[in-house]
Amino acid sequence: MSKRNYNVFFNTHTVSGIVISVALYIIFFAGAFALFKDEIAIWEDGSPIHHIERKDINFDHILKKLDHKHKLTGRDLQLYLYKKNDKISISISASKDTLASEKAKQGHFFYADINTVDTKTYSEQYSLGEFLYRLHFFAQWPRFGIYLSGFVALFFLFAIVTGVIVHWKKIIPNFYTFNPRIALKRVWTDAHTALGIIGLPFQFIFAVTGAYFCLSVLILIPANALYNNNQAKLMEVLRPESQNYEWIATSQKEIPSFNEFAKKAAMQWDNFHLTRAYIKNYGGSNMKYIIIGELQASERFISTGRIIFDAYAGNILEKKSPHEGVYTEDVQHVIRRLHFADFGGLPLRIVYFILALITCFVIITGVLIWIEARNKKSMTINQRLYTAKVGHIYLAICLSILPVTALAFLFVKLSNGYFEDKQTAIYWFYFISWLFAILFFRFKRDNYFTNKYCLLFGAILGYLIPLTNGFISGNWFWATLAQHQFDILLIDVLWMLIASCSLLFYFKIQPKNKMQSAFNKNPIDYKNIKALKAAEAKAISKKNAFKDPRASLGT
């Protein structure tokens, strides 16, 4: 590669990486915890999970209670059956029946307990796991946030490609020459290259799948054109279960038992587990039951099966075997499974979690390399101040997210049951705590201090999480292990490991590491900035006068 091309790729990699670094760090950090979204919700609630097989849920009892409360006649229902939780999410459309009341013409979304049928709205059921999952693609920023995360993923893909090109020749040597005792910039460079390559396949997958999910509206534009802008027809091809059935009339027959159809669907194939269900035109003469499920991931990577029943006749109208592939449907499931590690069980999600945190480290080292490289005596005081300011802001935002997240876990456990609108409570607590932490570390103007004490506070708060869970909910390690409540145990163990690693790194970071920093060798005296700028201006003036003798003669 020519020197010119190398410089082009290097500068492109640096600029694209610096521009997206903060957003990318938040995406990967929040995304790491989003892998355990369901476990976090169960841990937060603190109640034991019964692990009822989805086909054995008493759907008839749930539907009967919902019909009494919401008058389901003429509505379409969508039921999402969580794999572990004792709750299912239910979406109810407005009634299509022209004779329905005004109340029945309003749609609803809520969560229902499969045992008690107690319902909670989205904001009431909101959990810290849901918050971190949505922070993963900036959903807290309405409309714009998801597109921002999509373009960040796109630029990340660009940074990956240019990074491989730039570091290609140094990949193997850096594995053998890595030495944390040498110059700090060299440490960051070697660590950035080595760990970046280790996580490269994982990062590439996340960049591609993340861009697809968040920018799908752009991807569907060509497909929409093929269907003459008929979006309903397009969605029926991509998601057949979303097909709309026209309302005909109310049936006078008794509502058929959904339980029987659920069991019948589960028995169609071995190891077929229900994941979703749809009821079209509830109580109508053409009512349909649509039941969707999957095989175990160990049997087949993509194995979505679907059965559409005529509810009153009881016959099967359409059947899609999980052993058969349909490109237009399966490609979406492939992307989803790759992104959320929804195919290898808990071990794979743990691997994804570790690789996500390694990527966070790669992002931080990239920023630190940039900071170290730009703090030279040859640069002006304004350039050095700008670099230092960017470094302080970036590290304050990124590193403080660890103790703030740990503190949020303590908050949701201690406040569980006190807020009806949990969504607003979590929003306020998390973002205000994060803002205070950012401001404190930013104006401290010491990256060593920020790094060191974010790790320390993260460790202390991390150790308090399982202790608080034990005192508040009685879910101590030995109790959850004996009761086979492994979802709750997982979160406690996870934080114990995070806290232990944070404490280890805290003690590993010594003052001698700070002494290697360019900002320690060439410090900026913030108390005398004006004097430094005046001295620099005077030196530049003398230098210019020396170069041009006429300036000193006044000619």
Cα–Cα dist 538/532, whole Å: 10
Spatial CA neighbour of 321 closest among 337, 302, 340, 339 = 302
Q: What is the pLDDT of residue 555?
A: 45
Are 461 and 410 a contacting pair, CB within 8 Å? yes
Cα–Cα dist 140/131, whole Å: 8
The tokens of 53 are what? Answer: 């097989």
Cα–Cα dist 252/480, whole Å: 49
Q: What is the pLDDT of residue 180?
A: 52
Are 104 and 73 a contacting pair, CB within 8 Å? yes
Handedness of CA 426, 429, 431, 434 (dihedral sign): negative
Strand bridging mode 108-113 / 288-294: unpaired
Cα–Cα dist 447/367, whole Å: 12
Residue-by-residue DSSP string for 178-246: --TTS-HHHHHHHHHHHHHHHTHHHHHHHHHHHHHHHTHHHHHHHHHHHTTT-HHHHHHHH-GGG----
The tokens of 257 are what? Answer: 């038992």
Cα–Cα dist 182/372, whole Å: 14
Residue ranges covered by each domain of the chain: 3-47+132-213+344-515, 54-114+245-339
Q: The pTM is what?
A: 0.88
Give the three-state DSSP class for 317: strand
Are 262 and 307 a contacting pair, CB within 8 Å? no
The tokens of 73 are what? Answer: 């006649």
Q: Please name the amino acid found at residue 62.
A: I
Are 43 and 469 a contacting pair, CB within 8 Å? yes
Are 124 and 422 a contacting pair, CB within 8 Å? yes
Q: What is the pLDDT of residue 82?
A: 87
Enumerate residue ranges in the chain where pLDDT < 50.
551-555
Long-range contacts of 188-195 (CB under 8 A, 24+ apart): 188/365, 188/368, 188/369, 188/372, 189/365, 189/369, 191/361, 191/365, 192/362, 192/365, 192/366, 192/369, 193/167, 195/358, 195/361, 195/362, 195/365
Are 61 and 257 a contacting pair, CB within 8 Å? no
Question: What strands, in cross-sheet order, belong to the sheet with 119-121?
Answer: 119-121, 108-113, 87-92, 77-81, 273-280, 288-294, 304-310, 316-320
Spatial CA neighbour of 241 closest among 302, 281, 284, 289 = 289
Spatial CA neighbour of 166 closest among 388, 387, 377, 369 = 369
Cα–Cα dist 43/165, whole Å: 44
Write down the mean pLDDT value for the chain. Answer: 84
User: Which pLDDT tens digit goes with each residue over 342-396?
Assistant: 888 889 999 999 999 989 988 888 888 778 777 776 677 777 788 888 888 999 9
CB proximity list for 65: less than 8 A, separation 6 or greater: 117
Are 61 and 259 a contacting pair, CB within 8 Å? no
User: Which pLDDT tens digit goes with each residue over 268-323?
Assistant: 998 899 999 999 999 999 999 999 999 887 788 888 899 999 999 989 999 999 98
- 369-393: b (≥16 Cβ within 10 Å) or e: bbbbebbeeeeebeebbebbebbbe
Q: What is the pLDDT of residue 216?
A: 82
Q: What is the pLDDT of residue 160?
A: 82
The tally of CA atoms less than 13 A away on the side-chain side of residue 309 is: 24
